[in-house]
Structure 1
């Protein structure tokens, strides 16, 4: 029995250490491998491990921040960083050059600091290294993980207290039984006083063994496992059995919704277009399936009927084209992880995925043709088609004042500008609008504008980001 207990304790220790190592490996995956550093008067690419405090580093879209750094120069209109791995924020954070006055500012308030392991999703900038290794925000998390100890749950505390109390009671009863039988130690059947004492000592030990509730831990574990099974029926996955005890008496859970309770992946769910204006503005609404970055999904109309060739509708085709061109993000397939990954803003990647779901006009948009592509090619096949057909000439980046991003492209000796941004900013600049039923361009009237704004407000109220 003792050997089995020792083996069980050793197994628990090994599992705990293995889980800790896995967690540390996951943290290492967020660390950058290389960095563009100013050395000897020029910028060169060096291993991130060679960075020291005081180095000047240049970062741009897609770069992993190699160390904690202080912003010193902005090379674009703005710099936005995805800090989801550090703070759980679903939206990217805009960084600034201004100093932070507060001495006890949290990570979210340090808008002039680039944190190690986070990713630049928009813009270019230069920063000076202020912390490396264990002296970074990610380093402090790593140290905390190494120092963490399993907290004793209330149930375990009660069981320990009950076990201690039971042990004292059983020990007292055993001693009492042994003392009560002292007069029988000299019984001739025992063959002497010493043998009699040993005989009744064995009886006391047997009583103690019989009184110990060996099945109690198994019963508790079984009850927690049954609780886990019941929660699984409600789509709640329990990773640790003791957490069932806490959740069993929980009535309200308060948590940041995105990035904490969700996958932190954005996707296009609804598309609104002007269908017709012949008998007043008629707004058509389309739904899009798929909630990940995988370019797999269908477009369906308001009645739930799937569109076989979405790219044949004028408005959907133009939306897909604008989504692909007015975009600085990258969608790629990672064969090691077996999933699609983003480089850049989550909202922009969602638009790239939409362009893939809408497809292309003609034979190339047929599902049979697209499904023959490898996953690496499929990731951006439609996006690359539009980027080849429309060459980018100039980019006007998104700004807080303009609330729009515009891209000037050349196409068949013509210049075309594509814009995307906040609905109110785009609508205020619109003079004409495309109809989805016949492809005609008609003037933007007050009625059409009011109808579009009403539909957008309705989508905003249904917890959709427009």
Structure 2
């Protein structure tokens, strides 16, 4: 029992209990279960490109969204994806279609649901047990957990031992009566046989065996909540695992910057630690705008970006976090402050590109980043090393495409600005 309790505590501590709270422009992450009150402003976004991302930790009314789509499967009986409406400037308050059921609330972000794409901000209307997720949790409290195969086998063994032992005892009792023995003596013999036939130490042996398995798995940093689960794990022959965050650390690192003319700057370092890497071109350190052709690319990557790095940890999508770290390595991360974002078209798996409209000293500027083939379709020119705008003809397109395929063949993910 103590092992079960300890494992449960460790598992509970490993759960992400934080959410973005819009108390300042930096969106600090705080413990939502302890410090968030009704009426707080919260932010939520997709963390991983091309898949469901951040889990919503609170019920909230959406008042500003940028193409945000939320999977509300956990909050309704049938699976469906709902679009939380809003154009990034004015949101939809108390807007819903159909009846007054919870699943018809189009502008509510429910706790426990996943952000499928985009990002948004809203006001917290309920937390923890008072949320819709808490209501579902209360309904589940009355349901009993199904027995494991080992528990079913133990129950079956107990029934069989009882059946055969009582059969043998009854037979011996009848034979004793036929032989003229005393009834009380035969009853005493029957009770003795019944006690001897039931293996009283079997549950203890099973519990100790499972506990040893739990301890061995704990030594390999595997947390087991319930001891009977060890028996099921012992029967596993094939493990189908999700790669991102399971077999890998879910960290991305920018390794090189390539210009349309084929010049390539190498980036060192791993993960989101800024001090461990630099960006160099032909042995020269790329810092600030020392190399304009690379600085322009890095500048677009950090401005057309929603991620941030706090204490060597990315807040946002890992790919965008790698671009922020690249900007920090080259001293261009402050470029964000020069641009005031006006509008955003978020990245989706369908479009495969992201765009932001910014105001720069009274001028309207658009930045786009995304997949090679999709962004190339939107362009008719490129910026050369001397800062001149040149036509993007078929020869240059083919050269850029071949370069992107070459990077992809080495396992790198290419982004075009």
Q: Structure 1-normalised TM-score? A: 0.54
CA apart distance, 1:168: 1.8
Structure 2 gaps of 5+ residues are: 25-34, 46-54, 76-81, 87-91
Q: Which residue of 1 aligns with 2:398?
A: 450
Q: 2:258 aligns with which of 249, 253, 273?
A: 273
Q: Are 1:398 and 2:344 an aligned pair?
A: yes
Distance 1:350 1:419, change over 3 A: same
CA apart distance, 1:157: 1.2
CA apart distance, 1:146: 4.0
Q: Are 1:112 and 2:107 an aligned pair?
A: yes
Superposed counterparts of 1:48-197, under 5 Å: 49-50=37-38, 68-71=59-62, 74=64, 78=66, 80=68, 95-97=84-86, 112-116=107-111, 129=125, 134=129, 136-143=131-138, 146-147=141-142, 149-181=144-176, 196-197=185-186
Structure 1 gaps of 5+ residues are: 1-7, 37-46, 52-56, 88-92, 187-192, 302-306, 334-338, 361-381
Q: 1:19 aligns with which of 3, 8, 17?
A: 8
CA apart distance, 1:208: 2.0
CA contact (8 A) 2:44 2:121 kept: no
Q: Structure 2-normalised TM-score? A: 0.59
Q: Which residue of 2 aligns with 1:375?
A: none
Q: Deviations over 1:84-130 (max 9, x none)?
A: 9x79xxxxx973148665889998x976332347899977666795x
CA apart distance, 1:161: 0.9
Distance 1:217 1:430, change over 3 A: farther
Q: CA RMSD in A?
A: 5.9
2: CA distance, partners of 1:294 / 1:105: 47
Q: Which has the higher contact order (CA 8 A, sep 6+)?
A: 2
Q: Are 1:432 and 2:382 an aligned pair?
A: yes
CA contact (8 A) 1:394 1:408 kept: yes
CA apart distance, 1:33: 8.2
Q: Are 1:340 and 2:307 an aligned pair?
A: no
Q: Which residue of 2 aligns with 1:349?
A: 321
CA apart distance, 1:165: 0.8
Q: Which residue of 1 aligns with 2:308?
A: 330
Figure out how many residues of one structure are paired with residues of the other and give that number.
Answer: 369
CA contact (8 A) 1:68 1:116 kept: yes
Secondary structure, in 3 states, of the residue corresponding to 2:344? coil
CA apart distance, 1:19: 3.0
2: CA distance, partners of 1:264 / 1:144: 35
CA contact (8 A) 2:369 2:375 kept: yes
Secondary structure, in 3 states, of the residue corresponding to 1:421? strand
Q: Are 1:208 and 2:158 an aligned pair?
A: no
Secondary structure, in 3 states, of the residue corresponding to 2:258? strand
Larger Rg: 1
Q: Which residue of 2 aligns with 1:422?
A: 370
Q: Which residue of 2 aligns with 1:373?
A: none
1: CA distance, partners of 2:136 / 2:9: 12
CA apart distance, 1:162: 1.8
Range that drifts further, 249-258 or 398-407: 249-258
1: CA distance, partners of 2:140 / 2:11: 11
Distance 1:460 1:238, change over 3 A: farther
CA apart distance, 1:196: 4.5
